Structure 1
Amino acid sequence: MKINITNLYGMANTSTAQAAQNVTTQLAKAQGVNELAIYRYNVASDTPEQLRVRIDGINASLQMGDIVIFQLPTWNGLEFERQYLSQLRAYQARVVFFIQDVPPLMFRQNYDDWMQPYIEFFNQADLLILPSENMATRLKAEGLTVDSIIYQHLWDHPTAYQPEMAAFRRELTFLGSQSRFPFTREWPYETRLRLFAADAQVDAEQNIEYAGFHPDEVLLPLLDGGFGLCWSIDTPDQPERQYSHLNASYKLSTYLAAGLPVVANADIAAAQLIKDHQLGFLASSLAEADQLVRNCSAQEYQLMAKKVKDYGYLLRNGYMFKRMLVEVGEYFMAN
Structure 2
Amino acid sequence: MSVHITKTYNIGGLIGLRQNAVRNAAETLGYKEMSLFKFPDQYDTDAELHVRMDGIISALCPNDVVIFQHPSGESPRYDNFLFDHIRMYAETKIIAFVQEIASQRENSEYTLENEIELLNRADMFIFASETVRDYYMKNGLIEKPFIIQTVADYMTDILVTEHTQEKIYILAESNSENYSNVPINIDVIPYDEYHATEIILKISDGGMGLIWDFDEQALGIYMAAGIPVIVKKGLPCEKYVVDNKIGIVVEDYNEVYKISVSATKDSIKPYYDSVKKIQKLFTNGIYTKKLLLDALIMVREKL
Q: TM-score, normalised by structure 1?
A: 0.81
Deviation at 1:162, TM superposition (A): 1.5
Which consecutive residues of structure 1, in runs of 5 or more, have no partner in the other structure? 199-213, 232-243
**2:7 maps to what in 1?**
7
**2:89 maps to what in 1?**
91
C-alpha separation between the residues in 2 aligned to 1:96 and 1:85? 11
- The structure whose RCO (Cα within 8 Å, separation 6+) is larger is 2
Compared with structure 1, are the counterparts of its residues 146 and 196 closer, same or farther at alpha carbon in structure 2 (3 Å cutoff)? Answer: same
> SS at the partner of 1:269?
coil
> Is 1:150 aligned to 2:131, yes or no?
no
> Is 1:72 aligned to 2:70, yes or no?
yes
**2:111 maps to what in 1?**
114
C-alpha separation between the residues in 1 aligned to 2:264 and 2:81? 56
Deviation at 1:11, TM superposition (A): 2.3
Deviation at 1:170, TM superposition (A): 4.8
Question: Cα RMSD (Å) of the superposition?
Answer: 2.5
> Is 1:133 aligned to 2:122, yes or no?
no
C-alpha separation between the residues in 2 aligned to 1:11 and 1:220? 20
> Is 1:314 aligned to 2:294, yes or no?
no
Compared with structure 1, are the counterparts of its residues 158 and 148 closer, same or farther at alpha carbon in structure 2 (3 Å cutoff)? Answer: same
For residues 280-314 of structure 1, what are the alpha-carbon distances to aligned partners after superposition, in whole Å with 9 as ceiling and x for unaligned?
11222212111133333544411111111222211
C-alpha separation between the residues in 2 aligned to 1:110 and 1:2? 32
| Aligned ranges 1:41-52 → 2 under 5 Å | 41-52=39-50
Q: Out of 139, 158, 163, which is 2:160 matched to? A: 163
Greater Cα shift, 317-326 or 146-155:
146-155
> SS at the partner of 1:97?
strand
CA contact (8 A) 1:227 1:261 kept: yes
C-alpha separation between the residues in 2 aligned to 1:150 and 1:27? 17
C-alpha separation between the residues in 1 aligned to 2:190 and 2:32? 34
Which consecutive residues of structure 2, in runs of 5 or more, have no partner in the other structure? none
**1:173 maps to what in 2?**
169
> Is 1:288 aligned to 2:255, yes or no?
yes
Q: TM-score, normalised by structure 2?
A: 0.89
The aligned amino acid for 1:42 is P
The aligned amino acid for 2:40 is N
**2:226 maps to what in 1?**
259
For residues 94-135 of structure 1, what are the alpha-carbon distances to aligned partners after superposition, in whole Å with 9 as ceiling and x for unaligned?
01001122222334x879x82133123212211101101111
Deviation at 1:194, TM superposition (A): 3.5
**1:249 maps to what in 2?**
216
CA contact (8 A) 2:152 2:216 kept: yes
The aligned amino acid for 2:103 is P
Identity %: 23
The aligned amino acid for 1:94 is K
CA contact (8 A) 2:169 2:188 kept: yes
Deviation at 1:90, TM superposition (A): 0.6
Deviation at 1:59, TM superposition (A): 0.4
| Aligned ranges 1:200-219 → 2 under 5 Å | 215-219=195-199
> SS at the partner of 1:6?
strand
C-alpha separation between the residues in 2 aligned to 1:262 and 1:55? 42
C-alpha separation between the residues in 1 aligned to 2:103 and 2:157? 36
C-alpha separation between the residues in 2 aligned to 1:193 and 1:332? 43
Structure 1 runs, 4 residues or longer, greater than 6 Å off: none
C-alpha separation between the residues in 1 aligned to 2:11 and 2:175? 20
> SS at the partner of 2:24?
helix
C-alpha separation between the residues in 2 aligned to 1:106 and 1:267? 21
Corresponding pairs, count: 298
CA contact (8 A) 1:170 1:294 kept: no
Q: Out of 200, 209, 220, which is 1:228 matched to? A: 209
C-alpha separation between the residues in 1 aligned to 2:267 and 2:195? 31
Greater Cα shift, 134-143 or 215-224:
215-224
C-alpha separation between the residues in 2 aligned to 1:272 and 1:143? 29
**1:207 maps to what in 2?**
none
